[in-house]
Structure 1
Amino acid sequence: MNVKFINGLIIAALSAPLCILGACNSSTQKTPASADTSKTDTGKKTKYLSQPLISSIYTADPSAHVFNGKIYIYPSHDINAGIPENDNGDHFAMRDYHILSMDSIGGKVTDNGVALDIKDIPWAGRQLWAPDAAYKNGTYYLYFPVKDKQDVFHIGVATSANPAGPFKAEPQPIAGSYSIDPAVFTDTDGKTYMYFGGIWGGQLQRWITGKYEPNGSKTDSKQEDAPAISCKVALLKPDMKNFDGAAKNAVIVDSLGKPLLTKDHNRRFFEGSWMHKYNGKYYLTYSTGDTHLLCYAIGNSPLGPFTYKGVFMKPVEGWTTHHSIIEIKGKWYIFYHDTQLSGKTHLRNVKVTTLEHNADGSIKLIDPFL
């Protein structure tokens, strides 16, 4: 048993044999109503706030959307590639996407099979990481980060007439795109924006000068007293396949309007951004990475700046925290992942639970454990 200490939480990680997954051959899963057991730590049961949506494959980084009254989830597809863990994330060696769908929260979950394979992306090299999706004028768009053949992350786009795919990739990545974790948001005025970026293995720190520096820092740690590296935001053209101008910094500031600093690991942006709009305000939510928190910052424009407001989800079991937030029939939900099924940081499973906005606009703190 590998016991990990994360921000004061004691998490016991047990290695789960792959037969746990192999025993579940059906492509549909019934979503459990709530958690009750799983890992043990010094004889005590760990109780989870929610249960995995699907256990036939490992899934992570869920980007959820409602299309045609149905919930579609666009996750990463984790595999056990046998690569040792490192800070570059080489062990996250994903090769395809499976899109999940469900008619309602708590209902049956369907794995719709392979929607896009890395071998069908002409410019791709390796590591097909966290995707997102959007819809416009009869076409569904799947946005994905993958390393090119020179091992540099860029963001590509693929299209389909069906939200579950299969998707056909464009022959080249989006011009001006780089790094990872695309999150696409369409505002009430019809304009669509992409938020993206991730430091460390996501390579965002290698683009500080405006061009890729292959020998640049592997982390952001050499700039501890400088403003933190920002999440990026770009307006998409009406064709949904190109940026309308260069990407800008989605700057996160403190209550005094000063940018958060690199050394502020409990608040600064690391990866996994998402945008939702509530009561006319723009909520940029994101992961702090090495401190394993989900935080939020609020702005008056989709371009920012965004004022830091706090933590809204405590650390999950595992290392990464990546999420999406959507409204379904007047209620808000967060889709996220942990490692309940495997106990290994790179073999994850997606989950969902409710998210509540308080009367003052703040987000109620979520604890992924009961």
Structure 2
Amino acid sequence: MNKPLISDIYTADPSAHVFNGRIYIYPSHDIETNMPENDNGDHFAMRDYHILSMDSIGGKVTDHGVALDIKDIPWAGRQLWAPDAAFKNGTYYLYFPVKDKQDIFRIGVATSKSPTGPFKAQHKPMEGSLSIDPAVFTDTDGKSYMYVGGIWGGQLQRWRTGKYDGSKPKEQEPAPNEEAVGPRVARLSNDMLSFAEPVKEVKIVGKDGKPFLAGDNKHRFFEGGWMHKYNGKYYFSYSTGDTHLLAYATGDSPYGPFTYQGVIMNPVEGWTTHHSIVEVDGKWYIFYHDTELSGKTWLRNVKVTELKRKPDGSIETINP
């Protein structure tokens, strides 16, 4: 397996894209906060984004410095978590989750004429946005979709009624025998700054066609969704969180439903796992993170390795 792509700063949650033949990586920027660990992830108190790039897998990695700082986001409160990026209409879009002044996670968007920034944030979060881990997928017909969501500290379980409820956080996750909370998806408008429709819940089901239950933490969605398309099939991959697996499910529509297929990657060193999958020069790669450099779950480092498939399109499990 490969070594960390960079070692002078801590990085995590890498969203990788190929723009103009070059690989760009949009990660979180981990910092030491000396805050105690908890299930809400308060110790992940990141404040800015650095964008990385390289001309090829295994090539020299460039750190382009601070692309967006939390102090330059007018509505932001704290915790600048895992971002993603997209390109359309001659503009680069950086999508980011951050808690607003009321401590509710929303999704913001910032724009630049360069893939490395600096990015200028919009004055308000995206209308109708919620939770964390935005992942933007542009289909072959040019339509773009955003997938969002993460339970526990990501607050997705607080939106079960359709409105945010922060009153009894410990009681909002479904009981083990209830249907699990699914990620959300919405098509983006042509300007890439807003949703063209209300967000919808994504169904992830077993091969028996039944949705996973909340207690099935080896299969149910936790956070870190990502979408890619291969041979006409939609591959939705995600983290199972407290069981530390990267899993995937496939479907015939960007909206799902998606049928569970298996594990992409077994647990890495560290509590969290978050990835992206991208095609580079005819091969597929998975970008991910672990804690090789620090041994601390909140100080992570990004890595990349090849993603291999069987002839039927199924993904071979990686043992990191």
Alpha-carbon separation, structure 2, partners of 1:267 and 1:311: 9
1:313 alignment partner in structure 2: 265
Change (3 A) 1:167 1:219: farther
Pair 1:289-2:241 in alignment = yes
Pair 1:250-2:202 in alignment = yes
Pair 1:125-2:48 in alignment = no
Is the Cα–Cα contact under 8 Å of residues 294 and 321 in structure 1 kept in the other structure? yes
State the one-letter code of the partner of 2:259: T
Pair 1:98-2:50 in alignment = yes
1:279 to 218, 225, 231: 231
1:88 alignment partner in structure 2: 40
Q: Which runs of 5+ in 2 are unaligned?
A: none
Give runs of aligned pairs for residues 41-52 of structure 1, distance below 5 A: 49-52=1-4
Alpha-carbon separation, structure 2, partners of 1:360 and 1:226: 33
1:12 alignment partner in structure 2: none
- RMSD of aligned Cα (Å): 0.8
Alpha-carbon separation, structure 2, partners of 1:181 and 1:238: 21
Is the Cα–Cα contact under 8 Å of residues 201 and 218 in structure 1 kept in the other structure? no
Q: Which moved more, 1:199-208 or 1:217-226?
A: 217-226
Alpha-carbon separation, structure 2, partners of 1:311 and 1:218: 29
Q: Which runs of 5+ in 1 are unaligned?
A: 1-48
Structure 1 residue 327 displacement after superposition? 0.2
Is the Cα–Cα contact under 8 Å of residues 180 and 196 in structure 1 kept in the other structure? yes
State the one-letter code of the partner of 2:111: T
Change (3 A) 1:196 1:50: same
2:256 alignment partner in structure 1: 304
1:331 alignment partner in structure 2: 283
Determine helix, strand or coil for the equivalent of 1:259.
Answer: coil
Structure 1 residue 219 displacement after superposition? 7.2
Alpha-carbon separation, structure 1, partners of 2:89 and 2:160: 36
Determine helix, strand or coil for the equivalent of 1:107.
Answer: coil
Is the Cα–Cα contact under 8 Å of residues 200 and 220 in structure 1 kept in the other structure? no
Give runs of aligned pairs for residues 107-256 of structure 1, distance below 5 A: 107-218=59-170, 221-256=173-208
Alpha-carbon separation, structure 2, partners of 1:70 and 1:289: 31
Percent of aligned positions with the same letter in both sequences? 73
Alpha-carbon separation, structure 2, partners of 1:275 and 1:199: 18
2:10 to 58, 63, 70: 58
User: After superposition, what is the alpha-carbon deviation per residue over 1:204-233, rounded to whole angstroms, capped at 9, x for unaligned?
Assistant: 000000111011334765421111100110
1:265 to 198, 217, 220: 217
Structure 1 stretches of 4+ moved >3 Å: 218-222
Determine helix, strand or coil for the equivalent of 1:119.
Answer: helix
Is the Cα–Cα contact under 8 Å of residues 318 and 338 in structure 1 kept in the other structure? yes
Alpha-carbon separation, structure 2, partners of 1:216 and 1:248: 24
TM-score by length of 1: 0.86
Is the Cα–Cα contact under 8 Å of residues 158 and 172 in structure 2 kept in the other structure? no
Determine helix, strand or coil for the equivalent of 1:290.
Answer: helix
Count of residue pairs the alignment pairs up: 320
User: After superposition, what is the alpha-carbon deviation per residue over 1:170-193, rounded to whole angstroms, capped at 9, x for unaligned?
Assistant: 000000001000000000001000
2:311 alignment partner in structure 1: 359
User: After superposition, what is the alpha-carbon deviation per residue over 1:126-160, rounded to whole angstroms, capped at 9, x for unaligned?
Assistant: 00000000000110000000000010000000000
